[in-house]
Amino acid sequence: MTPSPAQLVLVRHGETAWTLSGQHTGTTDLPLTAAGEDQARAVGRRLEDQAEKGQTFATVLTSPRARARRTASLAGFPDALVVPDLVEWDYGPVEGRTSDEVSDELGHDWDIFREGVQVVSTDNAVVENPTPGETLDEVAARARRVIASVQATLAGGESVIVFAHGHLLRVLCAVWLGLPPTSGELFELDTAATCLLGSTHDRRSVQAWNLPPA
């Protein structure tokens, strides 16, 4: 794909043990699996190909979590700027639990984008000292701050790369498009996938979504 000028390039981190098991991974700082590290290197080859086609990456940002920083490093950006607002949704009492487990406790199919994470008791948490968790609006507010912080760079015709997490990036895409944060549920995102956000005729758009790492 020939890149358009001034893209906001989103990269989800590579595979971890909990992405394989389906456990919600917010504050827990898990490393990449060996396969996840291979995925991250493949992301680097994809981004290198984009650069060879003329795309300039003026700014590279990463979540503070080890899985995102390691993905950025293996993809060729060891000096990516750490941005606290790029952390994953703080799942609170849902941390470390699967969607099926939460659904079983609630007695119905749980929808994180519609119901949030503050729907179950911390008494059943699987991690020690769980936080209360964030609301979807709080996650969206962080996404808006990230977009605002790179807007001048994009307006100047240079691209930005963001290494972060599945739910955070899905919310960021919704915010980019001017959609309600709940619309993030529509944007499935695999590990180590790359997405390209841009503008067409002065309107923000999705130019590619969920591209595999290789």
Torsional sign, CA 118, 142, 144, 23:
negative
Question: Alpha carbon of 148 to those of 39, 136, 209: distances in Å?
Answer: 29, 18, 21
- Whether 13 is catalytic is yes
Pairing of strands 8-12, 194-200: antiparallel
Q: Confirm whether 167 is a catalytic residue.
A: no
Tell me which of 13, 24, 165, 167 is the catalytic residue.
13
List helix spans (H) across the chain: 17-21, 34-52, 66-74, 99-106, 112-115, 136-155, 166-176
| Active-site residue, selected from the candidate residues 15, 24, 37, 88 | 88
Rounded to whole angstroms, the maximal C-alpha distance in the chain is 53
Distance linking the first and last C-alpha atoms of the chain: 13
| Residues annotated as part of the active site | 13, 88
